[in-house]
Copies of this chain bind each other. A is one copy, B any other.
Amino acid sequence: MSSRRDAVHEILRQSEGFRSAQDVYAEMRAEGAKIGLTTVYRALQALADNGHVDVLRTDDGESVYRACASGDHHHHLVCRRCGRTVEVAGPAVERWAEAVGTEHGFTEITHTVEVFGTCPACSAAAKAG
């Protein structure tokens, strides 16, 4: 229905890593798209609600979004320099989280797991520079 939402989704699909709302907005405007910041936020929220994109919070409280290949539950290995992201599955971690929770009598266990590092390209660049 909404071409704007699709446009936002498309930007994320073309991105290697997580992008912030402001970032997506800036890129769309730079490409000449006529879109408002409000609409970008709404599109991202809607996409996140439908599970079409993954959301996480950066250390400084910004929400960042990514169109992930897998719709299933998975985690991310994110380069802290360039933001490039690899989707990773971790059955062991899922089990561990569940076990830790039930062990203490907790129910309805959920968890957040993110792995950060410096990707090969960036560590090479750092060494060269």
Cβ of A118 to closest chain B Cβ, rounded Å:
5
Q: When the two chains form their complex, are residues B90 and A96 in contact, meaning their CB atoms are under 8 A apart?
A: yes
In the complex, per-residue mask of A93-129: 1 if CB is within 8 Å of any chain B CB, else 0: 1001100110011111111111111111001000000
Question: Can you tell how many copies of this chain the complex includes?
Answer: 2
A123 and chain B: residue at smallest CB distance:
B107
The listed residue (B92, B104, B119, B123) touching A96 by CB distance below 8 A is: B92
Would you list 29 pairs from A and B whose C-beta atoms are within 8 A, ordered by A residue?
A: A57-B57, A57-B61, A61-B61, A61-B62, A77-B106, A79-B106, A88-B104, A90-B100, A92-B92, A93-B96, A97-B115, A100-B115, A101-B115, A105-B119, A105-B120, A106-B115, A106-B119, A106-B120, A107-B118, A108-B117, A108-B123, A109-B116, A109-B117, A110-B115, A111-B115, A112-B112, A112-B113, A112-B114, A113-B113
